[in-house]
């Protein structure tokens, strides 16, 4: 299973890349609250560009995690919502987001210690 050439490994790697993407996490969390229109998603995730949101929604729809419903009115109404499979992803994603929130300070402290330990020798060598 650790062989990157193994088709199962490639499939898992591809899926983890998709569901671990920051935009996927934010879209799944936001759609967990219920069906949303594209512009509602843009307002609730203000840092995402229109292009990235479009690509993320298209990929999530392709993977069966999001459904897209077009209502034929003028202008057309398009709603996005999590599928049953998408809802099943919500719990692990929310768990990961909670873990990140709970541990962000410890991670920042570890990064500061690492940087101080690893930058100090190079700074001394340059000064000499």
The model's pTM:
0.75
The stretch 23-40 carries a mean pLDDT of 94
The CATH classification number of 7-127 equals: 1.10.10.10
Cis bond upstream, residue 75 (ω within 30): yes
Distance CA 128, CA 113 (A): 23
Return the domain boundaries, the chain: 7-127
Q: What is the pLDDT of residue 40?
A: 96
pLDDT in tens, 68-114: 999 999 988 999 999 999 999 988 988 888 898 899 999 999 999 99
* DSSP helix/strand/coil, 77: strand
Q: What is the pLDDT of residue 9?
A: 80
């Amino acid at each position: 299973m650790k062989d990157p050439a193994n088709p199962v490994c490639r499939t898992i790697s591809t899926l983890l890349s998709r569901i671990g993407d920051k935009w996927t996490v934010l879209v799944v969390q936001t759609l967990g609250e219920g069906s949303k229109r594209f512009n509602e998603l843009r307002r609730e995730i203000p840092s995402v560009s229109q292009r990235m949101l479009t690509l993320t929604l298209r990929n999530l729809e392709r993977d069966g995690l999001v459904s897209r419903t077009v209502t034929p009115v003028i202008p057309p109404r398009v709603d996005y919502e999590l599928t049953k499979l998408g809802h099943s992803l919500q719990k692990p994603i929310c768990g990961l987001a909670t873990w990140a929130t709970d541990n962000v300070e410890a991670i920042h402290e570890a990064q500061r210690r690492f940087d101080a330990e690893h930058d100090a020798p190079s700074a001394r060598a340059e000064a000499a």
